Structure 1
Amino acid sequence: MQSDSGKADAIRLDGKVAIITGGAGGIGAATARLMVARGARVAIADIALDAARAVVDGLPDAMAVPLDLESEDSIEAMVAQVSGHFGRIDILHNNAALLGPDIARQDGDVEHMGTALWDRTYAVNVRGTMIACRAALPHLRETRGNIVNTVSNLALQGHVIQSAYSSSKAAIIQMTRSIAASHGARGVRCNAVAPGMTLTPALREAFPPALLRAVEAETLRDRLGDPEDIAEAVAFLASDAARNITGQLLVADGGCASHVPGIAQFRAFFGEHQ
Structure 2
Amino acid sequence: MSSKVALVTGAARGIGLATSKLLLERGWRVAMLDRDSDELMSASAGLEGATPFLCDVSIQAQVEETLPAISLEFGRLDAVVNNAGVAEFGPIEATDFSTWRRVMETNLDGVFLVSQAAIPALKETRGALVNIASISGLRASTLRVAYGTSKAAVIQLTKQQAAELGEYGIRANCVCPGPVRTKLAMAVHSQEIIDAYHDAIPLNRYGSEMEIAEVIAFLVSEQASYVTGQIIASDGGFESTGVGLPALRK
Measure the CA separation in 2 of the matches of 1:67 and 1:261.
40
Measure the CA separation in 2 of the matches of 1:61 and 1:264.
45
Which of 36, 45, 50 is matched with 2:24 structurally?
36
Which of 79, 83, 86 is matched with 1:98 structurally?
86
Matched, 1:153 2:141: no
Task: Report the secondary structure of 1:159's partner residue.
Answer: coil
Identical columns (%): 36
Which has more radius of gyration? 1
**Number of aligned positions between the proteins:** 250
Matched, 1:46 2:34: yes
Q: Write the letter of the residue equivalent to 2:71.
A: S
Which of 121, 145, 162 is matched with 1:163 structurally?
145
For 1:128, the equivalent position in structure 2 comes to: 110
For 2:169, the equivalent position in structure 1 comes to: 187
Measure the CA separation in 1 of the matches of 2:70 and 2:184.
28
For 1:27, the equivalent position in structure 2 comes to: 15
- Matched ranges for 1:168-247 at <5 A: 168-247=150-229
Which of 88, 98, 123 is matched with 2:76 structurally?
88
CA shift at 1:124, angstroms? 1.4
CA contact (8 A) 1:45 1:78 kept: no
Which of 236, 254, 271 is matched with 2:236 structurally?
254
Measure the CA separation in 1 of the matches of 2:144 and 2:233.
18
Worse-matched range after superposition: 222-231 or 204-213: 204-213
1:222/1:33 Cα in 2 relative to 1: closer, same or farther (>3 Å)?
Answer: same
Task: Report the secondary structure of 1:192's partner residue.
Answer: strand
CA shift at 1:184, angstroms? 0.4
Worse-matched range after superposition: 18-27 or 156-165: 156-165
Could you list the structure 1 runs, at least 4 aligned residues long, displaced by more than 6 angstroms after superposition.
none
Worse-matched range after superposition: 52-61 or 150-159: 52-61
CA shift at 1:201, angstroms? 1.4
Measure the CA separation in 1 of the matches of 2:218 and 2:2.
13
TM-score, length basis structure 1: 0.88
Matched, 1:77 2:47: no
Deviations 1:93-130 (A, max 9, x none): 0000122xxxx3xx323222211111121111111110
Measure the CA separation in 2 of the matches of 1:136 and 1:35.
19
Deviations 1:173-193 (A, max 9, x none): 111011111110111000000
Task: Report the secondary structure of 1:32's partner residue.
Answer: helix
Which of 116, 124, 129 is matched with 2:98 structurally?
116
Worse-matched range after superposition: 25-34 or 110-119: 110-119
Q: Write the letter of the residue equivalent to 1:158.
A: A
Worse-matched range after superposition: 137-146 or 256-265: 256-265
Unaligned runs of 5+ in 2: none
Q: Write the letter of the residue equivalent to 1:170.
A: A
Measure the CA separation in 1 of the matches of 2:82 and 2:140.
23
CA contact (8 A) 2:197 2:205 kept: no
Deviations 1:231-266 (A, max 9, x none): 000000010100000011011011001114131221
Measure the CA separation in 2 of the matches of 1:97 and 1:206.
17
For 1:271, the equivalent position in structure 2 comes to: none
For 1:14, the equivalent position in structure 2 comes to: 2
Unaligned runs of 5+ in 1: 1-12, 269-274
Measure the CA separation in 1 of the matches of 2:162 and 2:82.
15
Measure the CA separation in 2 of the matches of 1:70 and 1:140.
21
State the Cα RMSD in Å.
1.1
TM-score, length basis structure 2: 0.97
CA contact (8 A) 1:53 1:63 kept: no
CA shift at 1:140, angstroms? 0.3
Task: Report the secondary structure of 2:21's partner residue.
Answer: helix
Measure the CA separation in 2 of the matches of 1:168 and 1:204.
23
Measure the CA separation in 2 of the matches of 1:50 and 1:112.
32
CA shift at 1:74, angstroms? 0.8
Task: Report the secondary structure of 1:254's partner residue.
Answer: coil
